[in-house]
Amino acid sequence: MESLVILFTETLGKYVSREVVIFLISLMPLLELRGGLLAASLLNVPILKAIPICIIGNIIPIPFILLFIRHIFRWMKNFKVFRGLVEKLENRAMKKSDQVSNSEFVGLMLFVGIPIPGTGAWTGSLIASLLEMDVKKAVIAELCGIVMATIIMSILSYGLLGTILH
């Protein structure tokens, strides 16, 4: 993930402000808030400025994924060219769904909040949608997870990693 963050930071940083860079990185699947906070640290954006930008960027996709992804996937499956991709995404998400399905709220919160590869709000939203979780419950669990991830990644990016990288 670090190499992707550095690539986007260096590439986008030539064209837009540091704040826009971290916002865009926070919107992206795989990178999300974790990558946004890492980028903010690398770009020397103050933590109190970076946190709200990263949180907003990470939150924006959640309702769209929760409300529309099943419909979009169903539509995409009508086209042979997309069918394999959709099935791969669904299978990948469902393999991770065991971590969420047993105790939906806490499971989803921890899935989104613990910053390890393959977890986060994008995948959490996909899993919640495929499991047909209550949207309000899923949003609240994901928001709690984002707060958890923010705390963990702030410590890692600005504390531990911040002292190593600067």
Domain ranges of the chain: 2-59+150-165, 61-147
Q: Per residue in 120-156, pLDDT tens?
A: 999 999 999 988 999 999 999 999 999 999 999 998 8
* Rounded-to-10 torsion of CA 58, 61, 63, 66: -110
- Reported as a pLDDT band with limits 50, 70 and 90, residue 101 is low
pLDDT at position 166: 45
Q: Give the pTM.
A: 0.84
**161 phi/psi in degrees, rounded to 5:** -70, -35
Over residues 81-107, the mean pLDDT reads: 85
pLDDT at position 138: 95
Query: Is it the case that residue 113 has pLDDT exceeding 80?
Result: yes
Over residues 34-58, the mean pLDDT reads: 94
Measured in whole angstroms, the distance separating CA 122 from the mean position of its chain's CA atoms is 5
Concatenated DSSP letters for 64-131?
HHHHHHHHHHHHHTTSHHHHHHHHHHHHHHHHHTHHHHTTHHHHHHHHHHS--TT-SHHHHHHHHHHT
pLDDT at position 161: 53
Q: Per residue in 5-20, pLDDT tens?
A: 888 888 888 999 999 9
pLDDT at position 8: 87
Query: Is it the case that residue 39 has pLDDT exceeding 80?
Result: yes
